[in-house]
Amino acid sequence: MTAPALQSSAPIVPVRDIDASLAFYEGRLGFRRLYVAPDKSSAEVSRDGAQIMLVACDDAATLAVTATNMSVYVRVRDMDGLWADLGPRLSDLPTARLRPPFDQSYGMREFHVKDPDGFLLFFGEPL
């Protein structure tokens, strides 16, 4: 008998517009669409082993909390290769939404990007 085990996790992210969010995650971050609800109330995207669930939300307070208090840390392999792929697609974002690769004092090389609703994604690899 196999012991129970956690297999993966996916943050559930409130978004104003499913189509705009899908365009960002697919076009800018290279995720692929796994699912979109027929009524556009939710969607799921994936890249390699990372998944993100998007849920349509029109509540301003919830979206404000998302933009100021929610984030996800995505561990990557070959940070500089990933940045070489994504950097050109992200380069026109406002500086408040993008922080190019840098080394953290806690031993990680990271870059940060905010989605259209302000959800913060950290991409990091050990130094």
Structural domains of the chain sorted by starting position, each given as residue range(s) with its CATH number in brackets: 12-59+69-126 (3.10.180.10)
This prediction's pTM: 0.93
CA dihedral 50, 55, 61, 64 (to 10 degrees): 30
Write out pLDDT tens, residues 28-58: 999 999 999 999 999 999 999 899 999 999 9
Write out pLDDT tens, residues 59-117: 999 999 999 999 999 999 999 999 999 999 999 999 999 999 999 999 999 999 999 99
d(CA 110, CA 103): 6
pLDDT band at 7 (very low <50, low <70, confident <90, very high): confident
Query: What is the SS3 string spanning the chain?
Result: CCCCCCCCCCCEEEECCHHHHHHHHHHHCCCEEEEECCCCCEEEEEECCEEEEEEECCCHHHHHHHHHHCEEEEECCCHHHHHHHHHHHHCCCCHHHEEEEEECCCCEEEEEEECCCCCEEEEEEEC
Joined together, the tokens standing for residue 92 give: 């026109």
